Chains A and B, each alone.
Chain A
Amino acid sequence: MATKQTRTLARLMMAPAVILLLIWMIVPLSMTIWYSFQNYNLLNPMTRGFAGFFNYEYFYTDPAFFQAISNTLILVLGVLAITVIGGILLALLLDQPIFGQGIVRILIISPFFVMPPVAALVWKNMIMHPGYGVLADISRFFGLQPVDWFAQFPLTSIIIIVAWQWLPFATLILLTALQSLDEEQKEAAEMDGANFLNRFWYLTLPHLARAITVVILIQTIFLLAVYAEILVTTNGGPGYASTNLAFLIYRTALLSYDVGGASAGGVIAVILANIVAIFLMRAVGRNLDR
């Protein structure tokens, strides 16, 4: 009797969260799918009708689409490479005895708490500006021609900014994982004459494997959706040089008022994200059983 009561109570306590998330997931997503098969432009809302796969075809045959997909992949992979490798190196550095370790940690973690528009504008204006930026000043000091970052290397510039924001995250998580490595194991390996590289390769790296997986998967979710950094720096340009999929959909939706086309792009983005999600869920789910 008591257990039945408890079970009912438990269900009631869970209900609001489950119902809200269910609505949040199903209603907008089914609307997106519905719109993606509709001919619907906010500029002439009178000419609405069933469009079949026209929106997908339109989105798929647009050269900007392939550029956006490849930009998305380059952005995600570039940032992942920088943050994972840099994060491992930084974590190894910070794991050693240092004077003022607490302050160093605080300085290194800080970029993660900077909101994306601030991060992007500070880099764009104060660091990378071809006339007045710090990098331009340094170039001139060495007698070199300053680089016009956002005109010459738009995507690379965005990769640098986003990597700066995520490097602290990778470092912090890898450092936390590193600190749980058994001291005795390390000492034993040292006694057995394993040098630093051997210890890193056979002991540290396998120990970090799970944390690295988690870093890669979580960052990928956020990196697929990079938006504000592009909006305030290059606005996707020059041309489509720094437009990723998220930004292309935004352009189609709110600049061309093309509801149908943007929805088709949205469905494609959801499918891509789901492929990543399946891997993440497996990794986290396995973890839950421990």
Chain B
Amino acid sequence: MARSISTRRKIIVTLAAWGVAFVIFFPILYMLITSLKTEAEAIAGISLIPSFTFENYVEVQTQRDYFKPFLNSVIISVGSTLVALLIAVPAAWSMAFSPTRRTKDILMWMLSTKMMPAVGVLVPLFLIFRDTGLLDTRVGLTLVLTLVNLPIVVWMLYTYFREIPGEILEAARMDGASLAGEIIYVLTPMAVPGIASTMLLNIILAWNEAFWTLRLTTSSAAPLTAFIASFSSPQGLFWAKLSAASTLAIAPILIMGWFSQRQLVRGLTFGAVK
């Protein structure tokens, strides 16, 4: 008896949850469906069954050269993540394993730089970039995104490194391991998962960053955020093509995001919620 009630309840809750999930996911689903329609179908009223044409995907490449902004996005997001890791791993490492009285203050100060609104420094950065020829270059944008995300990278790595037990280090030292040996054979293997999730989250953040990528590029270094924004001009209806370009732009990150849900919570709350 009790069992049948709980099963019925589970079915009701399931239906409610799937209903809500469908509504929330609908814009993405509809974008995917529209990308498989012809332009005429795309504006012909709701229909969830497209004619499954792939011409939009072909045209986004042949007419708008999709691959160029895609490559820019990959280079800028992966590049800025790798540079940030290169700077942040040693810093987080030393803060986690040889903390001083000031470690906490330094961490808080780093976090505070993240609070600075981008518009607050838009003018000087734009002028510096213009005068140094960094405007609309991948190097310039990589540099900015590295700095923008550096505090999050340090913080995330720090919360991961701090969980590596210190006793293991002592045991290794007892066994006569040198400092280099300690780092290579003991700490690195334990740190790799933390570094990997930090990398994943940071690539997602850099890929979707939509202030600096829009303002500091015009064409040659423009990543996907700027490419998609260029579809906003009102002339002509090209929703099917917009949908195809959008689907291609979000697909890799959506899939990465699905795999990094838990790390996301931890990374974006600076370890405050796990």
User: A93 within 8 Å of B by Cβ?
Assistant: yes
A251 to chain B, nearest CB (A): 11
Decide yes or no whether B274 CB sits under 8 A from chain A.
Answer: yes
B residues near A172, Cβ cutoff 8 Å: 261, 264-265
Is B113 positioned at the interface, with any CB of A under 8 Å from its CB?
yes
> Which residue of the partner chain, among B10, B24, B231, B237, contacts A99 with CB atoms under 8 Å?
B10
Q: Kindly name the residue among B24, B114, B268 whose own CB sees the greatest number of chain A CB atoms within 10 A.
A: B24
The stretch of A181-189, A191-199, A279-287 that contacts the partner chain: A279-287
**Of all chain B residues, which has the CB nearest A177?**
B273
Task: Report if A246 contacts B (CB, 8 A).
Answer: yes
Candidates B30, B226, B243, B271; contact of A287 at CB < 8 Å: B271
CB within 8 Å for A110 and B14 given contacts A29-B116, A126-B30, A126-B31: no
B101-148 interface (Cβ within 8 A of A): 104, 106-108, 110-128, 147
A105 interfacial by beta-carbon distance below 8 Å:
yes
Q: A122-B246, A176-B274 are in contact. Are A18 and B106 (CB under 8 A)?
A: yes
A245 to B31, CA, bound (A): 31
Q: Is the CB of B124 within 8 A of A273?
A: no
Residue A66 at the chain B interface, CB threshold 8 Å: no
Task: Contacts A17-B154, A107-B24, A118-B246 given; indicate if A137 touches B229 (C-beta within 8 A).
Answer: no
A147 within 8 A of B: no
CB-contact partner of A93 in B16, B124, B237, under 8 A? B16
Say whether B261 contacts A270, CB under 8 Å: no
Task: Specify which chain B residues have a CB less than 8 angstroms from the CB of A118 in the assembled complex.
Answer: 31, 228, 246, 249-250
* Residue among A14, A125, A225 making CB contact with B91, cutoff 8 Å: A14
Contacts of A227 in B (CB 8 A): 118-119, 210-211, 214
A164 touches B27 (CB 8 A): yes
B85-113 residues at the A interface, CB under 8 angstroms: 87-88, 90-91, 93-95, 97-98, 100, 104, 106-108, 110-113
Task: Looking at the assembled complex, report how far the CB atom of A144 sits from the nearest CB atom of chain B, in whole angstroms.
Answer: 15
Contact A111 to B28, CB < 8 A, known contacts A21-B147, A93-B17: yes
Answer yes or no: B79 CB below 8 A from chain A CBs: no
Does A37 belong to the interface (CB within 8 Å)? no
Q: Are the CB atoms of B122 and A262 closer together than 8 Å?
A: yes
* Cross-chain contact A122 with B87 (CB below 8 angstroms): no
Bound state CA distance, A103 and B54, in angstroms?
Answer: 27
Chain B, Cβ-Cβ closest to A97 = B10
- The answer on a CB contact under 8 Å between B229 and A13 is no
Complex interface: chain A residues within 8 A of B115 (CB): 221, 273-274, 276-277, 280
Contact status of A29 and B232, CB under 8 A, knowing A107-B21, A126-B34:
no
Is the pair A270, B17 in contact by a Cβ cutoff of 8 Å? no
Q: Do residues B229 and A232 form an inter-chain contact, with CB atoms below 8 A?
A: yes
A96 touches B13 (CB 8 A): yes
Q: Mark A109-143, 1 if CB is under 8 A from B, else 0.
A: 11111111111011111110001101001100000
- Interface residue? B204 (CB, 8 A): yes
| Category for how many chain A residues contact B | 35 or more
A162 at the interface (CB under 8 A from B): no
Inter-chain contacts of B119 with A (CB < 8 A)? 225, 227, 245-246, 249-250, 265-266, 269
Question: Least Cβ distance of A160 to chain B in Å?
Answer: 11
Q: B113 contacts A21, CB within 8 Å?
A: yes
Q: State the CA gap A101–B224 with chains docked (Å).
A: 32
Name 23 A/B residue pairs within 8 A (Cβ), A-sorted: A9-B94, A16-B87, A17-B91, A18-B110, A21-B110, A31-B128, A98-B17, A104-B18, A114-B250, A117-B210, A121-B242, A127-B27, A172-B265, A173-B265, A225-B118, A227-B119, A227-B211, A246-B117, A246-B119, A253-B126, A254-B126, A262-B122, A266-B121
Q: A21-B151, A110-B28, A115-B207 are in contact. List 10 more A-B contacts (CB 8 A).
A: A13-B91, A27-B124, A98-B14, A110-B25, A114-B250, A115-B249, A121-B242, A122-B27, A254-B126, A263-B123
Instruction: Give me the 8 closest cross-chain CB pairs, A-B, nearest first.
Output: A31-B124, A13-B90, A28-B121, A228-B210, A277-B115, A113-B257, A10-B94, A17-B91
Which residues does B use to contact A, with CB under 8 Å? Answer: 10-11, 13-14, 16-18, 20-22, 24-25, 27-28, 30-31, 34, 42-43, 45-46, 87-88, 90-91, 93-95, 97-98, 100, 104, 106-108, 110-128, 147, 150-151, 154, 204, 207-208, 210-211, 214-215, 224-226, 228-229, 231-232, 237, 239, 242-243, 246, 249-250, 253-254, 256-258, 261-262, 264-265, 268-274
Which A residues are within 8 Å of any B CB, using their own CB? 6-7, 9-11, 13-14, 16-18, 20-21, 24-25, 27-29, 31-32, 35, 90, 93-94, 96-101, 103-119, 121-127, 131-132, 134, 137-138, 164, 167-169, 172-173, 176-177, 180, 210-211, 214, 218, 221, 224-225, 227-228, 231-233, 245-246, 249-250, 253-254, 259, 262-263, 265-267, 269-270, 272-274, 276-277, 280-281, 283-285, 287-288
